[in-house]
Chain A
């Protein structure tokens, strides 16, 4: 790599040719503030002008996030001129910003607020900009858009269009009327939005937030006639600790269980158990399709953002989607059938709360055909995100980090290592292979790790020879990448038997409902890799690592469902899909 020599604040240093001033400064321990810059997206940055620095010989201040280093360059990141310019730029941004910070859900982790504090911005010298007309969108069940808090950094737009291949929002109009909107000011609820929530995770302010459903949970918990139970997805335990200042990638399963119990849930259960159930059903479905000639490739259906994407943008692949409900829905369905029966509780009295790393799960609970116990009994009553659970624990006054480590309740809380890794890209595939290969060959799989499907690469593929069958598999995350794979399948360029798709880049560990890390951290930390490692470690240390060896899974089939893929299992654990109109 060609290196160039430069000085930053009089400190001699080296940086790779072509890197930016921002990256070079980061290497020597200097953080240059940013509001629009996000390393993971490709589109041109430099919109917010908060990252400006002085460069000797340059006429103007330069934006560090896009300006490349060069030999002999002398950069000053912190002069009075730079500080004054940054402060002015922040004041200009604030002049059209709704400053109801006290009631904003992002107070505390707002990137704009943090910078205003750092640069001593106060109202005394603010500009009186024309406040734009408020254009809120409360139409969607998963996402709220409040343009009065938007700073038009465009991170959401690039994420939606580039990374997710959806492009449901854009910057529209001009001048003071400039704002983020759907085409023709359409409502998000009717749009092609897949619900992934990636836009929320990159929003520097509170302009894009999940719909907060915690009040529903508090109300249910306060109702003595309800049997309120909770299920937690694999990825929640790998990220919830971040809400309490723990390092990224800390597995807080034990403390999370303890907190949920203290919040008053009658049963604290594990979605990972339902993930094992999903594997039983999906592996059975896969083997059946392999033997009966299709339709192949089978494509996973655990990720509701992906399912919505497929229904909207690639409806021709709907027959390829696994008919299995997602683990969230399988858990809900079993809680109101198997569990209700076993505990002797009327399913109408069971209130099933799910904690998910995901905003699309809020949409999934309302899908048709997700009420196994009866038409007016939803499998899952309310779905909250990891962030919302963090908020509930904060409000409850529980000192999370001081809680003991506790275990899930046994009735629906026992999971294998295969269930735990569902949260990482490649995890569902690996879990399925552990079971499918063993079912096909009748022999123990050893080792149980399928390394080719691990890691955070966007697209991974592998071929396995199992008995007389050749399995061609592909693992993809991020719906824009899924589109690339499907295009290749459609054109015949690639042939696969089994494809795992997760809507969010890196999988659920990086889901749209996970704790928000500011761009300063996102740009220089492998968040998804660290969180995934927590799940793989949990798998490594699990006594049972294959779904079909989970004693609870065996019990549920023996006592209640019968055979995997059988009639009763189909009634309770499977669903169907439908093409969605692409209005805008």
Chain B
């Protein structure tokens, strides 16, 4: 079962205006739900219930229908991205060098599943495919910082760098 983000929604009036004017102009487009959700995610970075409700109301569709589309495509995220976005490479080279274990360990340490964000909004965790540093496998990134030749023992030290 999916866990829902407990990070409070912090949308701004500008974001709302931006999304609503797009919805207003495009609501009659055939197959509008997908592009609407793309626009919403582009605007807010993720699709919390507050944003999906805006989409549902503007398009005159049940929220359940919007939610069905949002949960079908892995491109859509229901959780916000953290201040520090952790991506663990699960590409072939990293995977055979044990990045799966690293990914599991991070979930355990942060207390969240992949695709989620810690309740304080600090860290989010995702799996990614090949960052182009296979020679350093297994690899993870925190925002733009790359960490390679990882072992589980390195993780506490890395996370500790991101304290503020």
Give the interface of A toward B (CB within 8 A). Answer: 133, 135, 161, 166-174, 181-185, 192, 584
Query: With A167-B61, A170-B62 given, can you name 14 additional A-B contacts, CB distance below 8 Å?
Result: A169-B64, A170-B64, A170-B65, A170-B67, A172-B64, A172-B67, A172-B68, A173-B71, A174-B72, A181-B64, A183-B63, A183-B64, A183-B67, A192-B62
Query: For window 1-24 of chain B, which residues contact chain A by CB distance below 8 Å?
Result: 1-2, 4
A181 to B67, CA, bound (A): 10
Quick check: A167 and B1 within 8 Å, CB to CB? no
Give the total of B residues in contact with A, Cβ under 8 Å: 16
Q: Is B66 an interface residue (CB 8 A)?
A: yes
A174 to B75, CA, bound (A): 13
Quick check: A167 and B62 within 8 Å, CB to CB? yes
What is the minimal beta-carbon distance from B23 to any residue of chain A, in angstroms?
18
Query: A161: nearest residue on chain B (CB-CB)?
Result: B62
Known: A133-B1, A161-B62. A171 touches B67 (CB 8 A): no
Quick check: B64 and A167 within 8 Å, CB to CB? yes
Q: Which among B2, B4, B71 has the greatest number of chain A C-beta atoms within 10 A?
A: B71
Query: For window 83-121 of chain B, which residues contact chain A by CB distance below 8 Å?
Result: none
What is the minimal beta-carbon distance from A510 to any residue of chain B, in angstroms?
23
Query: A135: nearest residue on chain B (CB-CB)?
Result: B1
**Of A135, A174, A183, A185, which contacts B52 at CB under 8 A?**
A183
Query: B74: nearest residue on chain A (CB-CB)?
Result: A174
What is the minimal beta-carbon distance from B83 to any residue of chain A, in angstroms?
24
What is the minimal beta-carbon distance from B35 to any residue of chain A, in angstroms?
19
| Residues of B with C-beta under 8 A to A174 | 71-72
Query: B1: nearest residue on chain A (CB-CB)?
Result: A133
| Residues of A with C-beta under 8 A to B32 | none
| Residues of A with C-beta under 8 A to B2 | 173, 185
Q: Which among A133, A161, A170 has the greatest number of chain B C-beta atoms within 10 A?
A: A170
Query: A133: nearest residue on chain B (CB-CB)?
Result: B1
Q: Is B49 an interface residue (CB 8 A)?
A: yes
Give the interface of B toward A (CB within 8 A). Answer: 1-2, 4, 49, 52-53, 61-68, 71-72
| Residues of B with C-beta under 8 A to A184 | 4, 49, 52, 63, 67
- Interface residues of A: mostly helix, strand, loop or mixed? loop
What is the minimal beta-carbon distance from A580 to any residue of chain B, in angstroms?
15
A168 to B56, CA, bound (A): 12
A167 to B65, CA, bound (A): 7
What is the minimal beta-carbon distance from A436 to any residue of chain B, in angstroms?
36
| Residues of B with C-beta under 8 A to A185 | 1-2, 4
| Residues of A with C-beta under 8 A to B62 | 161, 166-168, 170, 183, 192
What is the minimal beta-carbon distance from B63 to any residue of chain A, in angstroms?
4
Q: Which among B2, B53, B66, B67 has the greatest number of chain A C-beta atoms within 10 A?
A: B67
| Residues of B with C-beta under 8 A to A183 | 49, 52, 62-64, 66-67
| Residues of B with C-beta under 8 A to A169 | 64
A559 to B65, CA, bound (A): 54
What is the minimal beta-carbon distance from A284 to any residue of chain B, in angstroms?
38
A168 to B52, CA, bound (A): 14
A182 to B67, CA, bound (A): 8
Quick check: B65 and A161 within 8 Å, CB to CB? yes
What is the minimal beta-carbon distance from A197 to any residue of chain B, in angstroms?
18
| Residues of A with C-beta under 8 A to B72 | 172-174
A166 to B65, CA, bound (A): 11
A37 to B68, CA, bound (A): 21
What is the minimal beta-carbon distance from B99 to any residue of chain A, in angstroms?
22
A432 to B53, CA, bound (A): 41
Q: List 8 A-B contacts (CB under 8 A).
A: A167-B65, A181-B64, A183-B67, A184-B67, A584-B49, A584-B53, A584-B63, A584-B64
A169 to B65, CA, bound (A): 8
Query: B57: nearest residue on chain A (CB-CB)?
Result: A582
Q: Which among B1, B64, B68 has the greatest number of chain A C-beta atoms within 10 A?
A: B64
Q: Which among A166, A168, A172, A181 has the greatest number of chain B C-beta atoms within 10 A?
A: A172
Q: Which among B52, B62, B72 has the greatest number of chain A C-beta atoms within 10 A?
A: B62
| Residues of B with C-beta under 8 A to A192 | 62
What is the minimal beta-carbon distance from B124 to any residue of chain A, in angstroms?
19
A171 to B67, CA, bound (A): 9
| Residues of A with C-beta under 8 A to B1 | 133, 135, 185
| Residues of A with C-beta under 8 A to B71 | 172-174
Query: B66: nearest residue on chain A (CB-CB)?
Result: A183
A192 to B4, CA, bound (A): 21
What is the minimal beta-carbon distance from B125 to any residue of chain A, in angstroms?
19
| Residues of A with C-beta under 8 A to B49 | 183-184, 584
A169 to B62, CA, bound (A): 9
A182 to B66, CA, bound (A): 11
List the 3 closest pairs (A to B, CB-CB), nearest first: A167-B62, A170-B68, A170-B64
A161 to B71, CA, bound (A): 19
Query: A169: nearest residue on chain B (CB-CB)?
Result: B64
A178 to B5, CA, bound (A): 20
What is the minimal beta-carbon distance from A188 to any residue of chain B, in angstroms?
11
Query: A166: nearest residue on chain B (CB-CB)?
Result: B62
